[in-house]
Amino acid sequence: MKLNQDFTMAVETIQFLQKNKSKDYIQTEKIAEALGFSMGYLQKTMQTLSKYGIIDSKRGRIGGTRLGKRKVTLLDLWNLTCGEIDTANPAVPALKKPLKVFEDALSKVVISK
């Protein structure tokens, strides 16, 4: 199964920040280099994560990114990068139950506290 690139990038970025947890900001360039991401594409993803409080970003010479102060699940990242899962009225009615199971599974995986 091929996952959306934005979702994959968001998950890997949060995991990287979680592993390098510190009160200091980590420069986006360092994150992009460590994860092998395009700097421009990563900045777009990080703007989205920052907008919704998943990460804290700071501009400037001593700026960068660090984890926000909220719990983050895979469902949070899915909703931000892929759109919310419509379990009430899916495009294919037969997918209603499998989509609900998928949504429930994503909501149980906490990748950052």
- Domain map (residue ranges) of the chain: 5-112
Three-state DSSP at 83 gives coil
pLDDT mean across residues, the chain = 90
> pTM for the complete prediction?
0.86
Instruction: Report the Cα–Cα distance between both ends of the chain, in Å, rounded.
Output: 27
CATH number of 5-112: 1.10.10.10
Coil, helix or strand for 99?
helix
Query: Each residue of 39-68: pLDDT tens digit?
Result: 999 999 999 999 999 999 888 877 889 998
Give the CB-side neighbour count of residue 27, counting CA atoms within 13 A. Answer: 6
Q: Which residues of the chain have pLDDT under 70?
A: 1-2, 22
Instruction: Give yes or no for a contact between 66 and 23, defined as CB atoms under 8 angstroms apart.
Output: yes
At residue 23, the pLDDT reads 72
